[in-house]
């Protein structure tokens, strides 16, 4: 049997994130004892994902987005599922995992999808197109492919109450030099174009607003979804704990005695000869 070099074994999970040894814990080179009390949780999120500590302006903008997306009530499938799981005897970790596991392309993925489209428009402006031209081309392609623009409009809110404070936070970050404003301009132009000729505007929702924030901060689209999951996990945990504290057991999707309608064949006997 061939001997495996030690460095190949120890390097199996080599990482540039954390340096762990007896009596030593460093995150991206910073001793944990110095980070404790000097870095916020938001700072640590940025440090671990980006490799360096953020500026105060970057940290403030990231925090605004993470705060905005923590919860949207038990009508959200991810939260409802976590609450249901919490009544079934599983631990809080499993209840939270149940909720987080539902955050996919349809429920929870619009922010990442919006970021990818914002990046496409940004590439066109970098190539010389105006913001209006880039957005027009993008929307024409979406209509041609029968796709919708994620991150705009809301089935519940006429105007998402999280939109305005987040846009104000982006504007402040631009003034503080933490963002250049390109993605904000693109997002606002999309919002303007989607509302043209309509009696009711189509303002951006939380997914569009956070997509602008994360894009301005330089996060990749897939990390945008990861950050949304990180934020929403807080609400999922709170709802799972509240449901656990209620003491209710095996809480199904419908309150008793309601049952889901049956739409299959009528009552029938199994044939004697088959």
pLDDT digits (tens, 9 = 90+) for 167-218: 999 999 999 999 999 999 999 999 999 999 888 888 999 999 999 999 999 9
Q: Which residue has the tokens 């709802």?
A: 239
**pLDDT recorded at residue 2:** 65
Rounded alpha-carbon distances, angstroms, from residue 241 to 20, 68, 172: 32, 20, 36
Q: Which of 206, 235, 222 shows the shortest CA–CA distance to 99?
A: 235
The reported pLDDT for the residue numbered 10 is 85
CA 264 – CA 37 distance, rounded (Å): 61
Average per-residue pLDDT in the chain? 95
From the list 57, 47, 66, the residue with the least C-alpha distance to 38 is 47
Share of the chain above pLDDT 90, in %: 89
Q: What is the pLDDT of residues 41-90, one digit of tens each?
A: 999 999 999 999 999 999 999 999 999 999 999 999 999 999 999 999 99
Least confident of 78-82, 153-157, 206-210, 241-245: 153-157
Is it the case that residue 1 has pLDDT exceeding 60? no
Give the distance, in angstroms, between the CA of residue 207 and the centroid of all CA atoms in the same chain. 8
Of 120, 216, 204, 215, the closest CA to residue 173 belongs to: 216
Give the separation between CA 84 and CA 71, rounded to whole angstroms: 16
Domain ranges of the chain: 110-225
pLDDT of residue 155 exceeding 90, the answer is no
Look up the CATH architecture of domain 110-225: Orthogonal Bundle (1.10)
Average pLDDT (235-251) is: 95
Which residue, chain included where needed, has tokens 């190539």? 127
**pTM listed for this prediction:** 0.93
Is residue 162 a contact partner of residue 212, using CB atoms and an 8 Å limit? Answer: no
Q: Is the pLDDT of residue 16 over 80?
A: yes
Check residue 157 and give its pLDDT. 78
Q: How far is CA 12 from the centre of its chain?
A: 30
Cα 134 to Cα 26: distance, rounded to the nearest angstrom:
44
């Amino acid at each position: 049997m061939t001997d495996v070099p030690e460095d190949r074994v120890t390097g199996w999970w080599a990482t540039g994130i954390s340096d762990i040894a007896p009596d030593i814990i460093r995150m991206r080179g910073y001793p944990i004892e110095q980070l404790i009390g000097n870095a916020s949780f938001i700072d640590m999120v940025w440090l671990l994902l980006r490799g360096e500590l953020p500026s105060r302006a970057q940290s403030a903008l990231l925090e605004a987005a993470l705060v905005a997306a923590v919860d949207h009530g038990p009508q959200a499938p991810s939260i409802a599922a976590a609450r249901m799981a919490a009544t079934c005897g599983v631990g809080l970790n499993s209840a939270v995992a149940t909720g987080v596991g539902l955050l996919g392309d349809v429920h929870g993925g619009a922010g990442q999808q919006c970021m990818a489209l914002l990046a496409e428009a940004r590439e066109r402006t970098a190539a010389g197109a105006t913001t209006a031209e880039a957005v027009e081309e993008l929307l024409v392609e979406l209509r041609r492919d029968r796709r919708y623009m994620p991150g705009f409009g809301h089935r519940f809110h006429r105007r998402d109450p999280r939109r305005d404070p987040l846009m104000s936070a982006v504007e402040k970050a631009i003034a503080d030099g933490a963002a250049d404003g390109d993605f904000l301009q693109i997002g606002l132009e999309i919002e303007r174009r989607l509302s043209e000729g309509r009696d009711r505007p189509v303002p951006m929702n939380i997914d569009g607003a956070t997509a602008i924030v994360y894009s301005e901060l330089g996060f990749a689209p897939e990390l945008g979804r990861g950050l949304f999951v990180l934020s929403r996990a807080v609400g999922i945990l709170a709802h799972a704990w509240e449901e656990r504290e209620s003491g209710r057991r095996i809480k199904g999707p419908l309150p008793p005695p309601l049952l889901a309608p049956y739409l299959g064949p009528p009552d029938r006997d199994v044939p004697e000869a088959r």
